[in-house]
Amino acid sequence: MGKRKRRQKKKKKIAGLVFLYFLLFAAVGMLIVVKVFTVEKMVVTGSNHYADGTIEEWLLDDEYSWNSLYVYFKYKFEEPRELPFVDRMELSLKSPHILSVKVYEKQLFGRIYIDSIGQNAYFDKEGIVVEMSSEVIKGIPKITGMDVEKIVLNEKLPIKGKSVLKNLLSLTHMLKKYKLAPDSIKYGREGTYTLKYDSLSVMLGQAQNFNEKIERLSYIMPKLKGEKGTLHLESWTENTTDITFEKSK
C-alpha cells in the first residue's frame, strides 16, 4: 500500500513538473512573439495607384497589427478589405520585423463617364465594368459618343451596336500595347474613331486595320510631340502612304 502511494505521489510530481515546463515554454514562446515579431517595415511592390503608406495603413487596421506574426496569419485566413482599383494582395513575412506585400492592381482599359450619377465606369480587357468611381485616373482614356444602356458593376458594358464593343476593346488593347493611351476616344455617328491627345487629334476612321494603324501611329507620335493639329489616318493601309497632318493655327 505504501509503494502504491509513493508511485502516485511520484506521478503527480512528474505531472506537476511537466505542467510547469509547459507553462515555462509557453511563456518564453509568448515573450518571443511579443518582443521579437514586431512590424518595423512593410515593403510594398506593384502599387502604382496608391502610395506605400496608404497600403500599409489599409492592412495594419486593428489594435494587434503591431505584431508581424499576427498580421501574417491574419491575412492567411482572410482577405484584406476591398480597396478600389486593387484586384488582390499577397502578404509574406520576410523577417520578424519585415512584411512584404505584393499588390495586383485591376487592369483598366478605359472609362465611360455616367453623368447621371457623376461616376466613371472603368472596364477591363473583356469589357467588364470592374470599378465605379468619381476619380479620374491618368492614362485611362475616356470613351465618348457611344450609346450605352444601364451600366452595372461586374457586368459587361451594354453598348448598343453590333461589334462596337469588340472593336473598342481591340482598339484599347492596341493602344495599351504600344503605350499610346489617349486622353479620350470619341466614337462618331458613322462608326469612326478619333483619339485625343491634349491639343492633338488622330482620326482613325472606321474599325478597319486598327492593328496596323496603331502600330504606324507609334512611329509617328514622337515626331509630333508639342504639335497642335489633326493627324489623318482614316484611309491609310499598308499599301498606301495616305497620311496627312493639318496644323492648327
Predicted pLDDT at 67: 86
Tens-place pLDDT, residues 140-163: 999 999 988 789 999 999 998 879
Predicted pLDDT at 88: 93
Predicted pLDDT at 235: 85
Residue 241 has pLDDT above 80, yes or no: no
Query: What average pLDDT does range 105-116 have in this prediction?
Result: 94
Predicted pLDDT at 33: 47
With beta carbons less than 8 A apart as the criterion, state whether 184 and 144 touch.
yes
Query: What average pLDDT does range 46-70 have in this prediction?
Result: 91
Which segment of 21-30, 62-71, 127-136, 203-212 scores lowest on mean pLDDT?
21-30
Question: What is the pTM (predicted TM-score) of this model?
Answer: 0.80
Residue 13 has pLDDT above 70, yes or no: no
What is the residue-averaged pLDDT of the chain? 86
Tens-place pLDDT, residues 171-228: 999 999 999 999 999 999 889 999 999 999 999 999 888 899 999 999 999 999 888 9
User: SS3 string of the chain?
Assistant: CHHHHHHHHHHHHHHHHHHHHHHHHHHHHHHHHHHCCECCEEEEECCCCCCHHHHHHHHCCCCCCCEHHHHHHHHHHCCCCCCCCEEEEEEEEEECCEEEEEEEECCCCEEEEECCCCEEEEECCCCEEEEEECCCCCCCCEEECCCECCCCCCCECCECCCCHHHHHHHHHHHHHHCCCCCCEEEECCCCEEEEEECCEEEEEEECCCHHHHHHHHHHHHHHHCCCCEEEECCCCCCCCCCCEEEECC
DSSP strand pairing (184-187 vs 142-144): parallel
Query: What average pLDDT does range 70-83 have in this prediction?
Result: 90
Task: Give the integer Cα–Cα distance in Å for 68 and 57.
Answer: 14
Predicted pLDDT at 64: 87
